[in-house]
Chain A
């Protein structure tokens, strides 16, 4: 197992398994955080003061503390404080805990992007809706939300590309994502030990994937450009 060509297939396989885990966390986070962010956004814009101040405090705490600490808290607190490890020790439990921390964290960031998008839609648009006799619900879904989506594409793509790379933080609770898989070969795994290159090779995966996302987002932006106000 000494030459690069003997090592490559084994490392490639291990990194693929790790990257699958990275992708899973990425997809689950988006699926959870995009709708949850909208709920949080409504909460923080609510005219009911107690609700909006509670939600804003949560957003402040979540955005103001490191995601790494949030991961540790979500995974270890149940066992340490409540004395029952609700997540269990296996890979599955670690994934769920990581998903919860990531969804909550990203939902808070998304909510602020949504808020900016909604508040950026000119007030005249709502007034126009009222003149046409639309209900508040209709105005929100048919006028504000549609225009908000177009406005938030650039900041959302920014945040989503950050998410791709942030998934590597989940290794702090031993979720075996791609960087974990790459680092395993520094110590020794599957007969390959003391190798540095697999760790750096993981960057290729991130680059390719964020490249694909960049192309997708610029396509989406073009598609939405007919909304020009």
Chain B
């Protein structure tokens, strides 16, 4: 028995020591590690117009193009990796990716788990519901009696909580829409940039529309906690804004109206 406890104690100390080692002065260590690797691994999801594939399977979109330019400015290659959005912090801390650059809303949770860049794009959380009901629900107050579907851990969920809405959490924004289409929820709260692409004519959600804008929020890029890469990106954004690169890329993907000035 004694022997057994000793082993547990030694293991516990070893884990603590490992943890402490990793906590000490890592600011540039992470940056150096990425440079040594020679490429910036960018965690994304397939999300038009920010990150999506062209006919030749190359990743394009506002975020993808900016990420490529940022990596070039550091003399690095770039690799895009599709991740499961729920696991973004795991992917970062597990070093399987170096940043999350995918129209990510800067929520308090994101800011506490990652080293985030300055905001670069405006977004909003909006209510999506069947067209037939759209007239009845034009303000947040009207929506109080609806049952909502929101993405697990998303900005949409935070807004639903603030407004004291009744809601259930589902896996992602696409599932939230499916809940509405299937009638299992009355309405969904999703990103406005995404709603514009996903509902209406020519989609499976032709009978859905979006009405109330519940908040306004901002997109940012997330790096590993304490990484110096975030500061590098802020500097890069500033110069890309000053020479107009950022605006040109934004116009290419139709997001120029949402862009935030970098200074």
Q: In the complex, which residues 41-95 of chain B have their Cβ closer than 8 Å to any Cβ of chain A?
A: 41, 43, 45-48, 52-53, 55, 79, 81-84, 87, 90-91, 93-95
A193 contacts B198, CB within 8 Å?
A: yes
What A residues does B175 contact at CB under 8 A?
Answer: 186
The one of B95, B173, B203 that contacts A195, using a Cβ cutoff of 8 Å? B203
- B12 interface contact, C-beta 8 A: no
The 10 closest A-B pairs by CB, nearest first: A194-B203, A79-B94, A186-B174, A85-B95, A89-B96, A194-B198, A2-B202, A79-B95, A76-B94, A188-B48
**Bound-state Cα–Cα, A200 to B198, Å:** 18
- Chain A residue at minimal CB-CB distance from B174: A186
- B97 interface contact, C-beta 8 A: yes
- A32 interface contact, C-beta 8 A: no
- B18 interface contact, C-beta 8 A: yes
- A138 interface contact, C-beta 8 A: no
The one of B47, B55, B197 that contacts A194, using a Cβ cutoff of 8 Å? B197
Known contacts A89-B81, A186-B175, then 5 further A-B pairs from the complex at CB < 8 Å, ordered by chain A residue:
A76-B90, A80-B93, A80-B94, A186-B178, A189-B52
Q: How far is the CB of B46 from chain A (nearest CB, A)?
A: 5
- Chain A residue at minimal CB-CB distance from B206: A194
The one of B18, B41, B46 that contacts A89, using a Cβ cutoff of 8 Å? B41
Q: How far is the CB of A90 from chain B (nearest CB, A)?
A: 6
Q: What is the number of residues of chain B that contact chain A, defined by CB distance less than 8 Å? A: 40
Please name 16 pairs of A and B residues whose Cβ atoms are closer than 8 Å in the assembled complex, sorted by A.
Answer: A2-B201, A75-B96, A76-B87, A76-B90, A76-B96, A79-B93, A85-B95, A85-B96, A87-B96, A173-B84, A173-B87, A186-B178, A187-B46, A189-B52, A193-B48, A193-B198
| Chain B contact residues, CB within 8 Å of chain A | 18, 22, 41, 43, 45-48, 52-53, 55, 79, 81-84, 87, 90-91, 93-97, 172-175, 177-178, 181, 194, 197-199, 201-205
| Chain A contact residues, CB within 8 Å of chain B | 1-2, 72, 75-81, 83-85, 87-91, 93, 171-174, 176, 183-184, 186-190, 193-197
What B residues does A79 contact at CB under 8 A?
Answer: 93-96
B81 contacts A90, CB within 8 Å?
A: yes
What B residues does A72 contact at CB under 8 A?
Answer: 87, 90
What A residues does B173 contact at CB under 8 A?
Answer: 187
**Bound-state Cα–Cα, A190 to B52, Å:** 7
- Chain A residue at minimal CB-CB distance from B173: A187
What A residues does B178 contact at CB under 8 A?
Answer: 186, 196
A188 contacts B198, CB within 8 Å?
A: yes
The one of A2, A80, A83, A189 that contacts B90, using a Cβ cutoff of 8 Å? A80
B22 contacts A83, CB within 8 Å?
A: yes
A176 with B82: in contact, given A78-B94, A187-B174, A196-B178 (CB under 8 Å)?
Answer: yes
A187 contacts B45, CB within 8 Å?
A: yes
Q: How far is the CB of A213 from chain B (nearest CB, A)?
A: 28
B45 contacts A194, CB within 8 Å?
A: no
The one of B22, B84, B174, B177 that contacts A174, using a Cβ cutoff of 8 Å? B84
